[in-house]
Amino acid sequence: MSGSKFASFSLPALGLLGSLLLSCLNTSADLTLVDGDKVMQHVDKIVSNGPHPAGSDSQKQVAQYLAQQISSFGLEVQTHTFHPTTPQGRLEMNNVWTVIKGERESVIILASHYDSKFFENFPFVGANDSGSSSALLLELARVLVDNNPTRHSLWLVFFDGEESFQEWTRIDSLYGSREFVRMLKRSGELSKISALILLDMVGDKNLRLLRDLNSSPWLNEIIWNKAAQMGHSGIFLKRGNIAAEDDHLPFAEEGIPVIDIVNLNYEHWHRQEDTLDKLSARNLTAVGNVVLSSLAEISQYLER
């Protein structure tokens, strides 16, 4: 983030019982399927590549890891390569995503950026920014592949190039998300996108999340209420707001409902100390389960 900024089952085989099980899954108050230890293992793999700013060879290694993990879940990997002009010249960047098909063509996107910010004077691996959210998105893919609690299709998208190379501007930032929106416009698929849930810096030990004023109020309401129901009000705070400039903005500008779940008060933000030991498997589990448990209600809201 930059700133100025379930057990698998077959419904046909189970018949009515299967339908009832799916109904229970869709309306469950709390789903606790996210494994924070698995998330931490993914973060470890990501940061083992060292600093990985957009356009770097190490970033390509991270993209390969994401693709390998997605494939291991039995999902198809999709990529889009683009070459934006940056303060460091024209660079190659790659958005990576996968699709979990639902009953409907309409789509809920779950997203994270996966680049680390470029610094000349110290090595920055970005364990929290954005290793935590990228790793959590991989874990959500593992859980959701056989257990989509909505009728929507789910796209899990890893944006390249969120970070600015110099000072944050609307031109030097959000390269991947801006390109993804342009790609959807060219393909005529933008109208399929019903909502976007963005994760960014969601794993630190002192995690305190505030509602983002640049997010859709109804999405904030659903997720913060779900967190309270699940006993996580110590993470999803009831009071206070932020105004995040992040990868949700290009989608919001197109009228798409969005939410950014991000900790802008992370004490090691854009510092060399943003390393694996600053993260909490417990907090990553909590955030993942809140998002997972909110999907059914979000889908139902969109179908009204």
Instruction: Judge contact between 14 and 88, C-beta under 8 A.
Output: no
Cβ atoms of residues 267 and 200 within 8 Å: no
Q: What would the DSSP string read from start to end of 21-82?
A: HHHHHHH-S------HHHHHHHHHHHHTT----TTSHHHHHHHHHHHHHHHHTT---EEEEE
Residue labelled with tokens 């909505």: 150
C-alpha to C-alpha distance for 299 and 304, rounded to whole angstroms: 9
Distance of alpha carbon 15 from alpha carbon 2, whole angstroms: 49
Beta-ladder partners of 81: 94
Whether 274 is catalytic is no
200 annotated active-site: yes
Q: Which of 115, 129, 172, 200 is catalytic?
A: 200
Q: How far apart are CA 129 and CA 115, in angstroms?
A: 8
Distances 235 to 31, 161, 163, 165, 195 between C-alpha atoms, Å: 17, 28, 25, 31, 23
What 3-state DSSP class applies to 158? Answer: strand
Of 115, 139, 160, 162, the catalytic one is: 162
CA–CA separation, 11 vs 240, rounded Å?
44
Q: Which residues are catalytic?
A: 162, 200
